[in-house]
Amino acid sequence: MKNWIPLLLLLLILLSCKTRNAANKSNSIVQDSTVVENNNNPKDTSEPVRDKLTFYEHVLIPPTFEQIKINSKVNVENGGFIPTLDATIYIENNKKVWMNLQALVFNVARGIATPEGIKGQDKTSKTYIDSDFDYLNNLLNVNFIDYKALEKILMGRTFVKISDSQFTLTKNAQGYKMVSNGTQKIETDEKKREYKISLQYDENYDLLYVNLKDVLSPDELEISYTNWDEYSGIRLPKNVKIIIKGSKSSQILLENTKFDFSRMETPYSVPSSYKKIEIK
């Protein structure tokens, strides 16, 4: 089970690519977003943003694509030794995210996420899971991740809801900074949590940093994106860092080495000899 957890954590965290809802052209825009606050905060004085509509249009309107294949190098730090993994991530927009993990030349894990839930198998321990998104939320120490949020994380798009009345948008040396006014309550069927949220974007509206802090616990989620570039008209980050703090702490580093927009097969089946892990 110790080997399975980091593999699955990768499997499900990497299953993410952003598709954003179109911005509502009004002064009270409620849309998806991330928490942003860079460790290297600019020292200059922040200024209010007057043209908020342009900002929201850039950060909230989804990129247009049918599918994307991403080859990545993945490093996991969780206190134990895990070799660098080669990941193939295939995203079919709004439908599924498929992933295969290799260590050296050996397949070690495979999984698929759909709006209905997540499935994953660990070939090293011959075990598998078939679950809803509660398991992923527990791994990330949050309570709001669903399929759409998963799609958004990997491609560096905003994945939590924001509103103009509940966040303050300012301009600084790095670009644009958005910080929640007070705490933001997110309630699901299972639990209600309160977060302090901040986000940082650069001058091109690329997401640089997200910070989501639970104000009632040590739980905190940080995601940063660097080395953005344009591929087939879509801007994508080459490097993604995910830091999970709190009762469960770990760090995941992704180096995206290739982006391909051609269609591919995504086989997924569980051998009859594999043992199902019950999620509690």
pLDDT digits (tens, 9 = 90+) for 60-92: 888 889 999 999 999 988 777 778 999 999 999
> Which of 254, 256, 252 lies closest to 243 in space, CA to CA?
252
Whether residue 238 is contained in a domain is answered as yes
Domain range enclosing 26:
4-265
Q: How many domains does the chain have?
A: 1
- For the chain, what's the residue count? 280
Whether residue 144 is contained in a domain is answered as yes
Do residues 77 and 251 make contact, with C-beta atoms less than 8 angstroms apart?
yes
Rounded to two decimals, the pTM is 0.80
Whether residue 275 is contained in a domain is answered as no
Whether residue 60 is contained in a domain is answered as yes
Residue 18 CA to residue 151 CA, distance in Å, equals 5
For the cut 50, the answer to whether the pLDDT of residue 162 exceeds it is yes
Residue 239 CA to residue 181 CA, distance in Å, equals 29
For the cut 60, the answer to whether the pLDDT of residue 5 exceeds it is no
CATH number assigned to the domain comprising residue 206: 2.50.20.10
Do residues 117 and 131 make contact, with C-beta atoms less than 8 angstroms apart?
yes
Residue 143 — φ and ψ, nearest 5°?
A: -140, 15
Residue 212 — φ and ψ, nearest 5°?
A: -130, 110
For residues 177, 58, 233, 113, the Cα torsion angle rounded to the nearest 10 degrees is 80
Summarised one tens digit per residue, pLDDT across range 19-52 is 223 333 333 333 443 333 444 554 456 888 888 9
Q: Is 266 exposed, middle or buried (0-12, 13-18, 19+ CB in 10 A)?
A: middle
Whether residue 168 is contained in a domain is answered as yes
Q: Is 238 exposed, middle or buried (0-12, 13-18, 19+ CB in 10 A)?
A: middle
